[in-house]
Chains A and B, each alone.
Chain A
Amino acid sequence: MSDSLVQARGLRKWFGALEAVHGIDFDVQAGEVFGFLGPNGAGKSSTMRMIGCVSPRSAGELQVLGMDPDTDGPWIRSRLGVVPQQDNLDLELSVQDNLHVYGRYFGISRAAVRAKAVELLDFVQLTDRAADPVEQLSGGMKRRLTIARSLVNEPELMLLDEPTTGLDPQARHLLWDRLFQLKQQGVTLIITTHYMDEAEQLCDRLVVMDGGLIVAEGSPRELIARYATREVLELRLRPGARNGWDETLKDVADRVEELPDRLLLYASDGEAALAAAHQRGVQPVSSLIRRSTLEDVFLRLTGRSLVD
């Protein structure tokens, strides 16, 4: 058997007539941080739930921790740490009671779960709120508590579905640091996110999903090299003065991406592209030259909605 903790072949998911996942293949190796990127409705959460053994697959092969979710769901789940896209904390219990109760669902002894709760609250910096009802926490604090809760059983594999949505910048950096610590401890992480900087920072490897299919796979660096140029020239044009510009600019850059508020010109030399654009009489309100990022890869691969 291979070394992969999760192995999917031709994995599919239907909801009635709607096919949310269209047959995808991927492998997650022990110890890596693996990302799922993709626009809304791409099928990321549906895939995460199949891995989490809370949504039976419609077709294909799936192994998690070497087991089949259809037959060994409880066993697999006992080794997972899950941060769902939508929080599902018990709002009527206190912060620490949420951790106590959740730990007990895994069969952890009361004494052990108490000690663990203290450690976890410190880990997500919620110690001073331990006795407060969850109802009184801010959205970001609830998110941090959900993350702490997912660690109560010391999971081997974590499934984090948009873990940092709603967190302030400090909390996000705190979480990145914590996730990095977990990785150092040998925990395997599967993460979905809409923040490209986060994916670039955290993921060793990622796949981009669109319409239920995997459209690209690789490390952030590989993907940038494969799907974007070295530099990007961003031109902000006056509203209305834009029609036809992308025609004019076509041969200035390798590729032009049209966003609602600006044009992105992909070129190996941004300065040269800007000079050429000026030469053709383009007078942008502002311009910016930067390195390509994962966001550019994302736009290119999933950019269909951006044409309108």
Chain B
Amino acid sequence: MTAHGIAEPGSRALSGWQAMLRVVEGLWIWYRRNWRATAVSNVAQPLLYLAAFGVGFGGLIDASPHAAQATGGVPYLLYLAPALLTVSAVQNATFESTYPIFSAFRSQRTYWGITATPITPAQLVTGQLVGIALRLTVSATAYVLVIAPFGAIRGPGVLAALVFAVLCGMAFSAPLMALAAAWKKGRTPFAAISRFVVLPMVLFSGTFFPVSQLPRAVQALVRISPLWHGTELARGAALGTLRLWPAAGHLAYLTALLAVGVLLSRWRFRVRLTP
């Protein structure tokens, strides 16, 4: 085949790592033009919660000795701030890994354009997930920067909290992405997921009050919520109360969920994009 000037086979245009970066770059070009609006709305929501509950409601709580005991003697604002960081990451992850993915498959069909290039469906999955993680990181960082001057942060532990929040978001994002890739019909279940999965998770995963306040049966159920694991990690890191073994357990759970989600997404992307 040298007659046509064709290079040696195996000399791929891109390594797997480069290919993934190119996907991220493609997503970033959109984000670069639209990040302000996205970041503002992504920061505004947890900020409103923090103002209403942390400051308003928190004033009442801090006055009650019983409540102070439940939060471990931490002022309510400090108790709530890292949990809202995680909540916000999970909510953003829910959005980012449903509608845009569905649209890239269905209405815009952009994924078919991408996989007609050297990029493989598996590299597309990785790139898309890294892109989502970057966005979660930008929004979470913006939130931390905004709340820091109001004394809602205790110290550098918040940086670890930020990482845990993003990990928690991704553990939720990856399985949802597989679902969005598998969903071919017009009526999507995404609004229902926000309402009946994410919202109950937010309310009962120890965001606003310790899980120990819940009935025992419900407490067991809460253990499957990735948000609870993420909140425990983020709050522990922010307040400096994290202990090794529980932390390892939470990390293992979130990592496993992420890994399963990645595998499912790769499978669904491959089936859909290379029929």
Q: Is the CB of A92 within 8 A of B116?
A: no
Q: Is the CB of B274 within 8 A of A105?
A: no
Q: Is the CB of A104 within 8 A of B108?
A: no
Q: Is the CB of A105 within 8 A of B4?
A: no
Given contacts A55-B275, A93-B30, A106-B118, contact A79 B113 (CB under 8 A): no
CA–CA, A86 and B107, complex, Å: 11
**B interface footprint on A21-36 (CB within 8 Å = 1, 0 otherwise):** 0000000001000000
CB of B153, distance to nearest CB on chain A (Å): 35
CA–CA, A91 and B108, complex, Å: 7
**Is B112's CB within 8 Å of the partner chain A?**
yes
**Is B18's CB within 8 Å of the partner chain A?**
yes
Question: Given the complex, which residues of A lie within 8 Å of B273, measured CB to CB?
Answer: 54
CA–CA, A107 and B9, complex, Å: 16
Contact among A54, A101, A107 for B13, CB-based, below 8 A: A107
Query: How many A-B contacts are there with CB distance less than 8 Å?
Result: 103
Partner-contacting stretch, out of B21-29, B85-93, B164-172, B184-192: B21-29
Question: Given the complex, which residues of A lie within 8 Å of B12, measured CB to CB?
Answer: 74-75, 78
**Is A88's CB within 8 Å of the partner chain B?**
yes
For window 89-114 of B, CB contacts with A under 8 Å fall at 108-114
**B interface footprint on A1-22 (CB within 8 Å = 1, 0 otherwise):** 1010100000000010000000
The range of chain B's interface size is 20 to 34
Q: Is the CB of B29 within 8 A of A100?
A: yes
Q: Is the CB of B6 within 8 A of A66?
A: yes
CA–CA, A106 and B25, complex, Å: 12
CA–CA, A72 and B8, complex, Å: 11
Majority-rule SS of A interface residues:
loop
CA–CA, A107 and B26, complex, Å: 12
Q: Is the CB of B13 within 8 A of A106?
A: yes
CB of B74, distance to nearest CB on chain A (Å): 43
**A interface footprint on B11-50 (CB within 8 Å = 1, 0 otherwise):** 1111000110011011001100000000000000000000
Q: Is the CB of A107 within 8 A of B110?
A: no
CB of B103, distance to nearest CB on chain A (Å): 9
Question: Given the complex, which residues of B lie within 8 Å of A79, measured CB to CB?
Answer: 6
Q: Is the CB of A84 within 8 A of B120?
A: no
Contact among B108, B110, B116, B275 for A82, CB-based, below 8 A: B116
**Is B63's CB within 8 Å of the partner chain A?**
no
Question: Given the complex, which residues of B lie within 8 Å of A82, measured CB to CB?
Answer: 116
Nearest B residue to A15, CB-CB: B275
CA–CA, A149 and B112, complex, Å: 14
Nearest A residue to B4, CB-CB: A30
**Is B212's CB within 8 Å of the partner chain A?**
no
CB of A65, distance to nearest CB on chain B (Å): 6
For window 44-74 of A, CB contacts with B under 8 Å fall at 52, 54-56, 65-67, 72-74
Q: How many residues of A are in contact with the other chain, CB < 8 A?
A: 41
Question: Given the complex, which residues of B lie within 8 Å of A54, measured CB to CB?
Answer: 112, 115-116, 273-274
Question: Given the complex, which residues of A lie within 8 Å of B275, measured CB to CB?
Answer: 15, 55
Q: Is the CB of B4 within 8 A of A5?
A: yes
Given contacts A56-B274, A92-B30, contact A74 B112 (CB under 8 A): no
CB of A50, distance to nearest CB on chain B (Å): 10
Nearest B residue to A94, CB-CB: B33
**Is B119's CB within 8 Å of the partner chain A?**
yes
Question: Given the complex, which residues of A lie within 8 Å of B19, measured CB to CB?
Answer: 74, 105
Given contacts A52-B116, A75-B11, A75-B13, contact A3 B109 (CB under 8 A): no
**B interface footprint on A85-97 (CB within 8 Å = 1, 0 otherwise):** 0111111110001
Nearest A residue to B119, CB-CB: A105
Q: Is the CB of A78 within 8 A of B117?
A: yes
Question: Given the complex, which residues of B lie within 8 Å of A106, measured CB to CB?
Answer: 13-14, 117-118
Q: Is the CB of A77 within 8 A of B112?
A: no
Question: Given the complex, which residues of A lie within 8 Å of B29, measured CB to CB?
Answer: 93, 97, 100-101
Question: Given the complex, which residues of A lie within 8 Å of B25, measured CB to CB?
Answer: 101, 104
Question: Given the complex, which residues of B lie within 8 Å of A227, measured CB to CB?
Answer: none
Q: Is the CB of A90 within 8 A of B118?
A: no
Nearest B residue to A104, CB-CB: B22
CA–CA, A54 and B121, complex, Å: 10
**Is B217's CB within 8 Å of the partner chain A?**
no
Question: Given the complex, which residues of B lie within 8 Å of A75, measured CB to CB?
Answer: 9-13, 118
CA–CA, A205 and B69, complex, Å: 84
Q: Is the CB of A77 within 8 A of B118?
A: yes
Mind listing 30 A-B residue pairs with CB under 8 Å?
A1-B1, A52-B116, A54-B116, A54-B273, A65-B1, A65-B6, A66-B9, A73-B120, A75-B9, A77-B116, A77-B117, A78-B13, A78-B14, A78-B117, A84-B116, A86-B109, A87-B109, A88-B108, A88-B110, A88-B111, A89-B108, A90-B30, A97-B29, A101-B29, A105-B118, A105-B119, A107-B13, A107-B18, A107-B118, A153-B117
Q: State the A residues within 8 Å of B (CB).
A: 1, 3, 5, 15, 30, 52, 54-56, 65-67, 72-75, 77-80, 82, 84, 86-93, 97, 100-102, 104-107, 149, 153, 156
Q: State the B residues within 8 Å of A (CB).
A: 1, 3-4, 6, 9-14, 18-19, 22-23, 25-26, 29-30, 108-120, 273-275
